[in-house]
Amino acid sequence: MREFWIDEVDDGLCARLASPWRDAYREAMQSRGVDALTILAEQPLDFLLDLPFLRSLDLLFYRLGFDLSVINELSWLESLGLGVLGSRKGLRLSSLRQLKCYIADWMPGDEEVFDIETIEDLRLGKFPYESTEALRKLVRLRVLIIHVSRKLQSLRGLESLQGLEKLSLAYLPNLRDVSAMAALRRLRDLEIVSCKRIECLEAVLPSLTSLQRLRLENGPRLPSLAFVRAMPDLDRLSFHGTSVIEDGDMTPLLGRQFSHVSYDNRRHYSHTWRQIERKPSEE
């Protein structure tokens, strides 16, 4: 098994640590301009204090009661991911005043992230509230991902997040009210997966005029695809599973230059997805 290596990721380079830390690893990171680190093996975190160039930190090991207090002193940190970590012992998110991205499955103490106004990217699992009211202060938020929660019922509060560009909602079986999404006029990327109880989605979608990507999977049935006409920039569209178009009319998709279209072919649909995806030059 490798002990330390550097990978290319979407936004640069990331170092991976699967062994005890060595000073030589710091030199390797600095020589290649690496400011992101993923720690795969449990170990004392004091060495992080000697990495003032570090901007992104992900901890992917698991143990209840592991002390994270060292992270409080990393005032320069901009991104923190806690994977499946077993606790938040000693961690005070409020001390990370430059934090822009936070990724974690919810645990007590995570509510402090709602007071960090620099947050731009928030990805939470096991969201513990019935609504998203707690997010109102995060006016710089551009990316919001909420996955796996039986408590969330309403997106009330999201109307305050006028800069939101990407929203992903998945495995939220009790989510019903998404009317707040209608205020998200800058939203470009929307993903709704396994949220079958959403009500009146067809009334909200036409308001999302900046949408470029829409993925619906195992969600509510929609009366028609008429909402697509209000989305001139829509480039990628998919709807699968229980996300059925009731009138079966696929003609709103014709004549559009989609880079990707996919859906389950059904008997009452006027066109297959391959007929829609085919470019005029191919006809």
Model pLDDT for residues 173-197, shown as the tens digit of each residue = 999 999 999 999 999 999 999 999 9
Is the pLDDT score of 282 beyond 90?
A: no
How far apart, in Å, are the Cα atoms of 79 and each of 20, 134, 243, 264? 22, 20, 34, 38
Residue 226: count other Cβ atoms within 10 Å of its Cβ. Answer: 15
pLDDT tens, position by position, 227-264: 999 999 999 999 999 999 999 999 999 988 899 999 99
Contact 269, 245 (CB under 8 A): yes
pLDDT tens, position by position, 68-79: 999 999 999 999
| DSSP assignment letter at 15 | E
Is the pLDDT score of 62 beyond 70?
A: no
Is the pLDDT score of 283 beyond 50?
A: no
| DSSP assignment letter at 40 | -
Q: Where are the alpha helices (DSSP H) in the chain?
A: 23-31, 201-204, 273-277
Is the pLDDT score of 87 beyond 80?
A: no
The full DSSP string for 202-240 is HHHGGG-TT--EEEEES---BS-SGGGGG-TT--EEEEE
Is the pLDDT score of 5 beyond 70?
A: yes
| DSSP assignment letter at 143 | E
Q: How confident is the model at residue 281 (pLDDT cuts 50, 70, 90)?
A: very low
With respect to CATH, is domain 120-283 assigned 3.90.1150.110? no
Q: What is the mean pLDDT of residues 44-55?
A: 96
Is the pLDDT score of 144 beyond 80?
A: yes
For 95, phi then psi, to 5°, come to -80, -15
Q: How confident is the model at residue 89 (pLDDT cuts 50, 70, 90)?
A: confident
Share of the chain above pLDDT 70, in %: 96
pTM of the full predicted structure?
0.94
